[in-house]
Structure 1
């Protein structure tokens, strides 16, 4: 297995400084994108959506905000009647262990799936997740927003009883939010997947083939 070249500390610092220039350009570009995102128009949602909370109670959309103005929702792929638990969604949720710094910014975080709460509770208990996970089973939100059964991140804004959809992303837009993959991107070998532009001889496997539920990795 190949490895990066070994150089002097001065040569390393020179290469690191050159890369830092590009990293700062990238950071400024992300800041500019965030500024555009904050200026996106929004869509008022129809009233009447009801969800099932983790405790089995029926709640309206405003209650998902837990008294806050903003809500970030991860759409966990779990279809009604299916016993398939998405390992990508599970590993994403593993990255969400606690979110104490969102509340001071008037923002709540939750999971949502189209499956009934009876299915959701089994998965939640299996992995010990405590993040609120709501069932959209029986309402038309997924159909109305064109979500299908796919994963994604939605952002909503609440003004009184009015709910607005402000943002949605899926695919690589969700990928960039994951701490684990972003940490791997800092390493010499990266995520070690075939799509990556890596030097010849770097370890690589088919995309996401390595990923498992966290209780399936073994030792």
Structure 2
């Protein structure tokens, strides 16, 4: 009780001032302006990221998956874009064999439903050095559903994730694979949502408001969004959703002003 009282007293001495509703609205409007400016800067950075040079991946990397051996090309699952997160789960890592690294596990808990990424031609995969039997056991225990592969060669060392976690982003043009971006350190903190993953990819969110190179695939915001169990290629949208998405798109345009 004494500890709580001391904490509350300390907080009370350092909390912001208490103001009227009018003053609070003014302070909020000021902060909102700064947040919108930050969002616009983030969009500009994402546009620059889509113009980053690519690096051809010439080496044939080998993984173990739930269905046996897999190449880096296999990890794309037929899609054009691939994000590979190197998670630390292996002998010698704190938590083994019951848990993966605490930080990597916290990140895994934040991964959104993969159907939305897949609808944008993008695959997310995890990779560790733990055997597949241990990975399957961990995923079941923790309720994780992302594809998770075993690294069997120098993939982690070659792509900067042998000693620290990180997201490597790849693009596939036929059978040729390119490395397009890399995120690690505190950059990994922002990952987990459909938007943060897509913003890291060379094609981005693929929405018409984005400033992307000519010819990049783009569609209207809201129009491609769907329930995660309802993505079907070339399926006609429900008319009610068309009406709702029209209203949402109009609101989105206003938010860009």
**TM-score tier after normalising by the smaller chain length:** 0.7 to 0.9
Q: CA offset at residue 146 of structure 1?
A: 2.9
Q: Give the equivalent residue in structure 1 for 2:44.
A: 32
Q: Give the equivalent residue in structure 2 for 1:7.
A: 19
Q: 1:118 to 1:149 in 2, by over 3 A?
A: farther
> What per-residue deviation string (whole Å, max 9, x for no partner) do you get for residues 165-214 of structure 1?
111111111112256xxxxxxxxxxxxxxxxxxxxxxxxxxxxxxxxxxx
Q: Give the equivalent residue in structure 2 for 1:58.
A: 69
Q: Give the equivalent residue in structure 2 for 1:73.
A: 84
Q: 1:100 to 1:43 in 2, by over 3 A?
A: same
SS class of match (1:101)? helix
Q: Give the equivalent residue in structure 2 for 1:146.
A: 160
Q: Give the equivalent residue in structure 1 for 2:104.
A: 89
Question: Quick check: 2:64–2:150 contact (8 Å CA) kept in 1?
Answer: yes
Alignment gaps of 5+ in structure 2: 1-7, 194-257
State the alpha-carbon separation in 2 of the partners of residues 130 and 165 from structure 1.
Answer: 25
Q: CA-atom RMSD, angstroms?
A: 1.8
Q: CA offset at residue 97 of structure 1?
A: 4.2
> What per-residue deviation string (whole Å, max 9, x for no partner) do you get for residues 67-109 of structure 1?
1000112111123464262111101100114222111211011
Which of 124, 127, 135 aligns to 2:150? It is: 135
State the alpha-carbon separation in 1 of the partners of residues 21 and 178 from structure 2.
Answer: 53
Which of 7, 32, 44 aligns to 2:56? It is: 44
Alignment gaps of 5+ in structure 1: 180-219
**What TM-score, normalized by structure 1, do the two folds share?**
0.75
Q: CA offset at residue 145 of structure 1?
A: 1.9
Q: 1:177 to 1:108 in 2, by over 3 A?
A: same
> What per-residue deviation string (whole Å, max 9, x for no partner) do you get for residues 45-78 of structure 1?
124211111x241111111111100011211112
State the alpha-carbon separation in 2 of the partners of residues 23 and 114 from structure 1.
Answer: 40
Pairs aligned (count): 177
**What TM-score, normalized by structure 2, do the two folds share?**
0.64
State the alpha-carbon separation in 2 of the partners of residues 97 and 104 from structure 1.
Answer: 13
State the alpha-carbon separation in 2 of the partners of residues 49 and 41 from structure 1.
Answer: 22
**Structure 2 residue 171 is matched with structure 1 residue 171:** no
**Runs of 4+ with deviation above 6 angstroms:** none
